[in-house]
Amino acid sequence: MSTWLWTTLDPAGHLAWTSSDAVVSLAVAGAVLAWVAAVWTSRGLPVGATSLRVASLALWALALGTLAAALSGPSWVEERGRSEPGKVVVLVDGSASMGVLEGAAPRSAAVAEILKRIGPDAELLTFDEDIHAGAPDPNSPDAWTGRGTDVGLALSAVADRYLGQQLRGVVLITDGLDRGALRRELAAASDAGQALAGAVPALPGPLTIYQVGQADDLYDVAIDGVINGGFAFLRTDFRLTARVRGPAGLTLPVTLSREGRTLRTKQVKLGEDGRGKVSFDVRPTKVGRFAYMLSVPVDDADAVPGNNSYPVVIRVVRDRTRVLQVSGSPSYDQKFMRLFLKEDPSVDLVSFFILRTREDMGAGWRSDELSLIAFPYERLFSEDLDSFDLVILQNFDYKPYFDRSADELLGNIANYVRDGGALLMTGGDRSFDLAGYGETPLAAVLPVALGVTGVRSDPTPFRPVLTDAGRVHPVTRLGASPAESEAIWERLPKQDGFNEVVGLAPDSAALLEHPSARSRTGKAPILAVREVGKGRSMALMVDASWRWSFSEAAVGRGNQAYLRFWKNSLRWLMGDPEDQRVVITPARENVLLGDSVRVVIKVHDAGYLPVDGAVVRGTVTPPSGRAQSFEAVTDASGEASIEVAAKEQGAHRIRASSPGVPGRGETVFAVSDRDPELVEIVPDGVFLQRLAAAYGARAVYRPPGDPAGPTLDASAGREVLDRRVIDLASVPLVGLLFGLLAGGAWITRRRAGAR
């Protein structure tokens, strides 16, 4: 070592230049130019001053050289290697299961004692579904909030982070409740009698596994899960089966509730393994989504109260659609429609055609002399009407059958639609204005306006064309995309004519229209739909839809266009929750307490086109009943979204509507305190023993209460390179030297007679 003015330099070091080449080049160029300028300005000195002139230029050259060297960033670099003992890395499980109560203390309290045995110099890392520096407070249960514990990920992270190093030891502190793949892989390998070593990552040091938590100190009653199909059929029993866990032999009451209302309670006795099952049969009376909750009482000593209840959202759909088909006469259209409905196992069909008229019954014939059955129209359209989901009037003229009660019976059908029923009227020579429906109460619920005088039908063949609404409406969606649907409609055969109408009724939409014929509201509608009150109606102004079946079959596509059209029509007429004008969809149906859920509200016009700029108003009603109002505006795609905070446990029902849009959307999501990390809280020592066995002699498993310290490799160490960089340009000698040389050059120049 040597002392050089104000710093000490190691002779083993080396000189390095830190400035860029551009800076060095500019410094040298500047110094050369400055020296040339000095030479130029010293030409006029007296001849006798030549020696002073040379001395001045030499001193100035040295000063400029010193400055250029300083600007080049000279540094003295010293490097020395030294040995350090290897690190001890501690992986602490930071998941929520580490914070559960065991007796009077949280499970995490054991972590502090284990850390004392390891020593203060260890590097602490916390892991759950990720890995973080440091460790939670061992004495605070609230500090342990991690989810998705992944032991395999944590071990792999250590292997990658310390690749090429030798660690004195790796310590794993956990309850063994691994949610990743490693626990399953080791269990599968063990059951199959395979070697375990291939399932674990290689570690740079010996592994010590400390288990915290014991099952004997744990009291926990829980509903582990609920067995259900995810959906149910209207007016048909479905079963919810709860899997209950707790102390062996315990008898517990299990309660089933729906959106805060208790339905029933049953007792279940747990077996020797501490497990039991209890089932509830439920018969839904409405379609839609409904939130059910199965729960058991919460004891003061319960380690995890949040798993004592289990929410389930069930979608209720129709199993069988009850349809009343009334046809005025036999025809191909009636035949194809009847076959379509009879062959659908989800349809319960009641069909009437070739009926006795009032003239038949009043002609004096005995019943046994008449081959036609009597048409029980009074009972059907009064007593039995509410039992049907859909009424089809297919080319049906009511006048020959209904007597003076026609207005009452047709008024019943109109009220049935307003109250949530569905009505379909098809064309023909006994339908629409040809049957005088424009003068009846039924006209008020049809999607077309009646009252045509003079010629009421047009027999000219034509091919219907899709409207803008028809390109996106679920009824006319025959293909996977609007373009494919349009291509299918364009190749369907022509119709044999159509029933003329005044035009569209208010709040109705035309899905198919005539290519040239006009009505008062625009092109003549061929297929129109409407929402009336809680119900829906549809009008098809032709009676030859059966031709759509033959045309597709002729080109090898079967009768899919015909079937898909009528299936779409039935689904829409039934008011499927997904086909409403206002549809509400939560991003998740089951939400953890304290989280938030994004809810999307879609608004469609009468033709199911998205509505831009629609104001959406609604409420979110939590279990407490304190409804929270919201308002949003739809974008160009007809969607608006809100964020709903899950602050209460239980069912949250969302309702929304838009001014000027009939009906409202409705859905439900369930909020629970069932942290996925706390579904299973009994420590898994078997997994930890298998993990130790997978590492063989390089690992040791220590059960709860084991006082021994970790297994360490005393020979493990690492070489650490110490590097010292001294900036020579900042050493005071450089500035002093430049000042002395520049000052000497100036003094010498003055003595030579220059300015």
Q: Which residues of 164-199 are buried (b: 16+ CB within 10 A; e: fewer)?
A: eeebbbbbbbbbbbbbeebbebbeebbeeeeebeeb
Predicted local confidence at residue 444, as pLDDT: 95
Per-residue confidence band for 383, with pLDDT thresholds at 50, 70 and 90: confident
Q: Note the pLDDT tens digit of each residue in 447-459.
A: 999 999 888 899 9
Q: Note the pLDDT tens digit of each residue in 452-489.
A: 988 889 999 999 999 999 988 889 988 877 888 888 89
* Residue range 117-143: mean pLDDT, rounded: 84
Alpha carbon 658 to its chain's center: 25
Predicted local confidence at residue 354, as pLDDT: 58
Pick the range with the lowest mean pLDDT from 164-173, 309-318, 718-727.
718-727
DSSP for 291-355, written as a single string: EEEEE-PPPTT-S-GGGGEEEEEEEEE-SSEEEEEEESS--HHHHHHHHHHHH-TTEEEEEE-SP
Predicted confidence (pLDDT) at residue 513 exceeds the cutoff of 60: yes
pTM: 0.56
Q: Which pair of tokens denotes residue 551? A: 């045309």
Q: In this structure, which topology does domain 87-217+678-715 adopt according to CATH?
A: Rossmann fold (3.40.50)
Q: Which pair of tokens denotes residue 712? A: 């360490």
DSSP for 495-552, written as a single string: BS-EE--SEEPTTEEEEEEEEEEEETTEEEEEEEEEEETTEEEEEE--S-TTHHHHHH
Predicted confidence (pLDDT) at residue 414 exceeds the cutoff of 50: yes
Q: In this structure, which topology does domain 222-297 adopt according to CATH?
A: Immunoglobulin-like (2.60.40)
Pick the range with the lowest mean pLDDT from 286-295, 343-352, 474-483, 552-561.
552-561
Q: List the beta bridge partners of residue 324.
A: 350, 391
Q: Do domains 87-217+678-715 and 321-459+499-545+568-578 have the same CATH topology?
A: yes
Q: Which pair of tokens denotes residue 82? A: 């030294």
Predicted local confidence at residue 734, as pLDDT: 67
Q: Which pair of tokens denotes residue 138? A: 């061992």
Name the residue with tokens 């039995």: 384
* Average pLDDT for the chain: 84
Q: Which of 97-111, 532-546, 555-569 has the highest mean pLDDT?
A: 532-546
Predicted confidence (pLDDT) at residue 500 exceeds the cutoff of 90: yes
Per-residue confidence band for 365, with pLDDT thresholds at 50, 70 and 90: very low
Pick the range with the lowest mean pLDDT from 164-168, 478-482, 508-512.
478-482
Predicted local confidence at residue 363, as pLDDT: 45
Predicted local confidence at residue 521, as pLDDT: 85
Pick the range with the lowest mean pLDDT from 221-235, 240-254, 497-511.
221-235
Domain 580-672 has CATH 1.25.40.80: no
* Residue range 118-135: mean pLDDT, rounded: 89
Q: Note the pLDDT tens digit of each residue in 613-627.
A: 999 999 999 988 889
Burial of residue 104 (CB within 10 Å: 0-12, 13-18, 19+) is exposed
Helix (H, G, I), strand (E, B) or coil at 725: strand
Predicted local confidence at residue 509, as pLDDT: 93
* Residue range 123-146: mean pLDDT, rounded: 83
Predicted confidence (pLDDT) at residue 733 exceeds the cutoff of 60: yes
Predicted confidence (pLDDT) at residue 649 exceeds the cutoff of 60: yes
Predicted confidence (pLDDT) at residue 290 exceeds the cutoff of 80: yes
Predicted local confidence at residue 144, as pLDDT: 82
* Residue range 25-46: mean pLDDT, rounded: 69
Predicted confidence (pLDDT) at residue 443 exceeds the cutoff of 90: yes
In the chain, where are the structural domains located? 2-81+723-751, 87-217+678-715, 222-297, 321-459+499-545+568-578, 580-672
Per-residue confidence band for 1, with pLDDT thresholds at 50, 70 and 90: very low
Query: Which superfamily does CATH assign the domain made up of 321-459+499-545+568-578 to?
Result: Class I glutamine amidotransferase (GATase) domain (3.40.50.880)
pLDDT > 70 in the chain, percent: 85
Dist. CA 172–CA 98, nearest whole Å: 13
